[in-house]
Structure formats: C-alpha cells, structure tokens
C-alpha cells in the first residue's frame, strides 16, 4: 500500500515542490512566525508540485512517450535524496534568513526558525490542498463521463473543466467568502458598539459627543470615541511647548449617526461649524481605515506642531478591517470620502480666502487610497486645497501608482522622485521629503502632497505582477529596511508578500505598516509648511511622541 502511494506521486513534482518550499524560507519584507512560515511553505510546496502534475497531464494528453522501467526507479531515488537534502539545507538556513530582516529592524535575533514545526505545518497544508485538488479531479471526471455519453470525449473534458471550475468558485466565493464576510461584519459591528467603562462622554460642550453636540456619544463607534477622547489637550500641548496653545478640535461621525451617507456627511459639516473648526489655521479631512480607526500618531504630531490650532473631521464608512477589502481589491469607502470632502470643501470655498483655514487631506492604508479618490484634482484647480499627507498607500491606489510608474529615471520605486518635486514628494524613515533622489533646491508649488511609505511595507509594495516578474522595488539600490538576501522567485514571492500583508501591522514601529510619530512629524512639517520650530525642538517633540 505504501509503495503504491509513493508511486502515485509525481517525482518531478516533488522535486519542483521542494525547490519552491526552499525558496519560501528565504526572507521577504517582514519577519515571519513559524506558523505563518509553515502555511507559506505548504502552499509553495503544493503549487510547485501542481505545476509539474499539470505538465505531466498535458504531456499524456498529447500522447507523447513517457519514460518507464529502471530509468524511473533511478529518477525516483535521485529525486528523493535531492528533495531531502534541499529541504534540510533550507531549513538549516531559515533562522539566518529571518535574522537578516531583524537586524535591519533592530529587533532581537531568533536562535531557531523551528524547522520541525515548519515542516509539519507545511506537510499538513500540502495534504489538505492535495486532497482538495483530487476532489476537484474526481468532480471533473464525474461530470466528463456523463457528458461523454452525448458528446465527444475531448469536448466532454472541456465542459467538465468549465462546470467544475464554476462549481468550486461558486462555493468559495458565493458561500465561504460571503459567509466569512457576514460573520466578520457582525463581529466587528458588535465590537464597534462596545463602550469602554472608563470612557464617558466629554463634558466640554465643544467636543463631539458631548451633551451639546449634534452627535450622540454612543453612536460614534469604538474608533470614533477613541479618536475624540485620546487626543492631546491644550494643557498638555502648552506644557510641552511652553507657549500658548489651543484645544485641538476633532469631529467624528459614526455609521450609526445617521441613516444615509449624505446625511452623515452633512452632520459632519454642521458639527465642524458648531465647534469652530473653520476658525482654526489648519483643517484636515481625515479618511479612516476600514474599521473607522484613525492613527493617533498622525493627528497628535500635527496638533503639537501647530500648538492645537488644528481641526480635523473624519467619517466612518465600515466596520470591517481594511485587510479584507485590500485582499479582494474592493473599492470600498471612496464614496464616503468623496461625500465628506464635497461637503467640507463646498463650504470652505465660500469663506474669505484670507480668513479660512488651510485645508488638507489625510489617510492611512485603505484610508489613503480612498482619500486620493475623494476629489479629482482638476475639480479644484480654480481654488485648490493646501495639500495632503497619505501614509502607507496600498499598491492599488491609482494616483500613487501613476506617480510611481512615471517617476524620474534613476529614482527607485520605494522612494520615487516625480518631476521637480514641486507638487508631490515621497518620504520614508530618512525624514527628508525631498529625498536623496530629488532635484536640489526644489521648491513647493501651491499644493503640497507627501506620501509617507516604508520600503518594508507589504501593503504598499504587494503586487500581483510579482507572480511572474521581479518588482521594481527589488532592483538595487534597495530600501534601508529591506534584506539584501531577499530574492525574487516566480509564484513564491507572491505568496510571501501575501503573507506579509496579514502581519504588516505586527511589525516594529517605524517598519512595515506601523508608521512612527517621528516620521509623521517630518511629513507634516513639509506638508503644512512649519517654520517656527528649531531643530532641537523638533527632536524633543519626536522623543515626546515616541514614548509609550
């Protein structure tokens, strides 16, 4: 029985699968746990094996001669020895490969990559996926045999393939994925309703959610209540700067605040007017992430830099995490971002230009993508807003993609330079908006757009083209936080980057998809043209905001 099962496996398939397995252990953008590594390695092993099995089927279908007898026994033995050696050698080096990333991110080395655990998980994943593949084949054969009673054999095979693909895709997309989304939406919705016992409604009538507010505290959602209650106060900003400061204004509208998107956008505008948001020197239209979360590091840094003279407004558009929408490439939330911007911008343009605040846009991750789509730049040419700070934009962000693809020759994809840098600039941990690849003495134009991005952020640099070609960001010189041992492998690199996306927010601060307050400080200085802070004061602010 065991011998029969062994002979049922493809020798060349196991060999290519083992090569894929070994490649999957090499470093990608972020460190991986043994569980994540096992899943990635198992998927890689399965795909490598499946490629050869499909090729063997195609070979037989074309009725080409196949090797038999003693030659096959020698090939099987050689393949078994080679597979074992390749797997052991790659597992032995796995810890070193992972440490090449950890060294750049200044985190503790690992002594072992847990090779036994990785191997067991990979084999389990391989067995499950192989069982599913064989189930697919049996279904295909079942359909083809019955169709063959009426139609020729090859026609029946084609019909069988189409019918089986339709069946499996409908089960996966129509049943599993939709059920998963419904369960996730219900879970996030209930979580969003939870009110922390230590977080009560504000007593200040100028705060959103207070008794004087147009918006009820319990309807703001968990992320909204956090956004309103955890911001720096006037006293805290004054104590740090030693100068007179204002109380920052934050407005947030939750999904339960009104029945329609248009009503929620109008509520946001009216609340912003009620609390005096248009009397501040800086006004920021914030597009949150999928769950409605707004990165506190982004808002705290700009509020300190402008000593509280900042008003910000955000509109929740979902309960689900951004990763779910990014996973399927959904364009969800752009309509909410546009509705809010249209309301705020429409009122802002009616105000005297010498008395109204400077208007900015901000978003992180999916929020950055949706914020990009909140306006067409052509629509605001006559009366442009002041600028935007977009951090960690997903690869599918259209404007970011356009600017990166059309970057100046010689500038890398992870820190592009676009023309003379007067309209848009890219920043990373270096803190220089102009960057080492920008033109010297470049000056800003009327609108300032900055993209804050890390070369190690898989949300930004994941791309489906890595399935079959090496991404531009891997071309030397590489980003300062990307392992020099990272190599591109067909198919495998796509799987590695996909896994990195799931753990992107677990990276050390200042790497991956976790943006550091210090880097936000540098970005906001450029975007909002801060000039009255000395280098020593800026350094002290970065240290203050970086404290736990």
In the predicted model, what is the mean pLDDT of residues 387-415?
94
- pLDDT, residue 397, reads 93
Of 376, 529, 507, 506, give the one whose Cα is nearest residue 448.
Answer: 529
Question: pLDDT higher for 528 or 193?
Answer: 528
241, pLDDT greater than 80: yes
- pLDDT, residue 20, reads 94
Q: What is the DSSP string of 182-238?
A: HHHHHHHHHHHH---TT-PPPSSTTSTTSTTSSS-GGGSHHHHHHHHHSSPPHHHHH
Phi, psi (deg, nearest 5) at residue 391: -110, 140
CA–CA dist 88, 64 (Å, integer)? 35
- Is residue 340 exposed (0-12), middle (13-18) or buried (19+ Cβ within 10 Å)? buried
- pLDDT, residue 69, reads 60
- Helix (H, G, I), strand (E, B), or coil: what is residue 23? helix
Q: Which residues make Cβ contacts (< 8 Å) with residue 103, sequence separation at least 6?
A: 109
pLDDT band at 294 (very low <50, low <70, confident <90, very high): very high
2, pLDDT greater than 50: no
Of 178, 288, 298, 284, give the one whose Cα is nearest residue 222.
Answer: 288
Question: pLDDT higher for 154 or 344?
Answer: 344
CA–CA dist 459, 255 (Å, integer)? 26
Query: Considering Cα of 444, then 447, then 448, then 450, what sign does the dihedral take?
Result: negative
In the predicted model, what is the mean pLDDT of residues 54-71?
68
pLDDT band at 6 (very low <50, low <70, confident <90, very high): very low
Cα pseudo-dihedral 143, 148, 153, 154, rounded to 10: -50
395, 327 contact by CB (below 8 A): no
Question: pLDDT higher for 466 or 168?
Answer: 466
46, 125 contact by CB (below 8 A): yes
In the predicted model, what is the mean pLDDT of residues 147-174?
73
Of 388, 393, 362, 363, give the one whose Cα is nearest residue 377.
Answer: 388
Pairing of strands 358-364, 424-427: unpaired
**Percentage of residues of the chain with pLDDT beyond 70:** 85
Of 69, 62, 80, give the one whose Cα is nearest residue 10.
Answer: 80
CA–CA dist 273, 521 (Å, integer)? 27
Torsional class of 333: left (φ above 0), alpha (ψ -120 to 50), beta (otherwise):
left
278, pLDDT greater than 80: yes
CA–CA dist 469, 463 (Å, integer)? 10
Omega of the bond leading into 477 within 30 degrees of 0 (cis): yes
CA–CA dist 423, 448 (Å, integer)? 6
CA–CA dist 115, 119 (Å, integer)? 6
Distance, CA of 469 to chain centre? 21
320, pLDDT greater than 70: no
pTM of the model as a whole: 0.89
183, pLDDT greater than 70: no
Tens digits of residue pLDDT in 345-374: 999 999 999 999 999 999 999 999 999 999
- pLDDT, residue 181, reads 57
Considering the chain, what is the average pLDDT of its residues?
A: 87
List C-alpha distances in Å: 157 to 96, 241, 511.
48, 75, 50
pLDDT band at 54 (very low <50, low <70, confident <90, very high): confident
The lowest-confidence range among 43-47, 169-173, 297-301, 313-317 is 169-173
pLDDT band at 470 (very low <50, low <70, confident <90, very high): very high
H-run or E-run covering 124? helix 115-147
Q: Which residues make Cβ contacts (< 8 Å) with residue 161, sequence separation at least 6?
A: 140
In the predicted model, what is the mean pLDDT of residues 151-164?
76
pLDDT band at 272 (very low <50, low <70, confident <90, very high): very high
In the predicted model, what is the mean pLDDT of residues 244-260?
94
513, pLDDT greater than 80: yes
CA–CA dist 247, 238 (Å, integer)? 10
List C-alpha distances in Å: 148 to 104, 142, 152, 406.
60, 10, 6, 53
List C-alpha distances in Å: 243 to 234, 303, 308.
10, 14, 11
């Amino acid at each position: 029985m065991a011998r029969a099962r062994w002979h049922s496996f493809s020798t060349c398939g196991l060999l290519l699968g083992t090569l894929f397995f070994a490649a999957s252990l090499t470093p990608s953008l972020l460190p991986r746990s043994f569980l994540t590594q096992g899943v990635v390695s198992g998927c890689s092993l399965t795909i490598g094996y499946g490629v050869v099995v499909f090729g063997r089927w195609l070979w037989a279908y074309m009725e080409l001669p196949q090797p038999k007898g003693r030659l096959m026994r020698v090939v099987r033995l050689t393949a078994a020895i080679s597979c074992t050696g390749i797997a052991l050698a790659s597992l032995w080096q796995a810890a070193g490969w992972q440490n090449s990333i950890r060294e750049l991110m200044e985190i503790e080395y690992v002594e072992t990559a847990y090779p036994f655990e990785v191997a067991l998980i990979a084999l389990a994943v391989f067995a499950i996926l192989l069982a599913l593949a064989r189930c697919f084949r049996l279904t295909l054969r079942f359909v083809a045999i019955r169709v063959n009673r009426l139609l020729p054999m090859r026609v029946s095979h084609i019909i069988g393939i189409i019918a089986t693909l339709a069946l499996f895709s409908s089960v996966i997309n129509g049943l599993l994925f939709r059920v998963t989304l419904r369960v996730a939406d219900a879970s996030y919705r209930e979580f969003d309703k939870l009110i922390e016992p230590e977080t009560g409604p504000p007593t200040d009538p100028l705060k959103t959610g207070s008794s004087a507010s147009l918006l009820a505290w319990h309807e703001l959602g968990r992320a909204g209540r956090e956004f309103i209650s955890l911001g720096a106060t006037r006293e805290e900003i004054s104590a740090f700067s030693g100068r007179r400061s204002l109380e920052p204004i934050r407005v947030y509208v939750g999904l339960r605040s009104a029945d329609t998107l248009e009503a929620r956008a109008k509520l946001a505008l009216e609340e912003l007017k009620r609390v005096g948001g248009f009397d501040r020197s800086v006004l920021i239209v914030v597009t949150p992430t999928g769950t409605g979360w707004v990165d506190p590091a982004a808002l705290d840094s700009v509020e300190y830099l402008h000593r509280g003279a900042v008003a910000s407004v955000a509109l929740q558009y979902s309960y689900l995490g951004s990763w779910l929408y990014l996973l399927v490439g959904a364009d969800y939330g752009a309509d909410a971002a546009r509705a809010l911007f249209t309301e705020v911008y429409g009122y802002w343009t009616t105000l005297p230009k010498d008395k109204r605040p400077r208007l900015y846009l901000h978003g992180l991750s999916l929020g950055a993508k949706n914020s990009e789509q909140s306006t067409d730049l052509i629509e605001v040419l006559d009366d442009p807003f002041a600028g935007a700070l977009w951090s960690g934009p997903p690869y599918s962000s259209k404007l970011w993609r356009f600017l990166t693809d059309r970057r100046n020759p010689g500038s890398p994809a992870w820190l592009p330079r676009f023309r003379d840098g007067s309209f848009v600039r890219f920043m990373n941990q270096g803190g220089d908006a102009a960057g080492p690849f920008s033109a010297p003495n470049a000056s800003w134009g009327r609108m300032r757009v900055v993209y804050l991005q890390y070369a190690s952020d898989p949300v930004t640099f994941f791309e489906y083209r890595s399935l079959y070609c090496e991404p531009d960001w891997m071309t030397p010189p590489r980003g300062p936080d990307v392992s020099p041992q990272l190599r591109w492998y067909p198919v495998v690199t796509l799987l590695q980057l996909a896994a990195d996306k799931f753990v992107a927010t677990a990276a050390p601060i200042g790497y991956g998809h976790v943006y550091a307050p210090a880097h936000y400080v540098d970005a906001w200085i450029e975007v909002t043209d801060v000039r009255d802070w000395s280098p020593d004061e800026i350094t002290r602010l970065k240290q203050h905001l970086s404290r736990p």
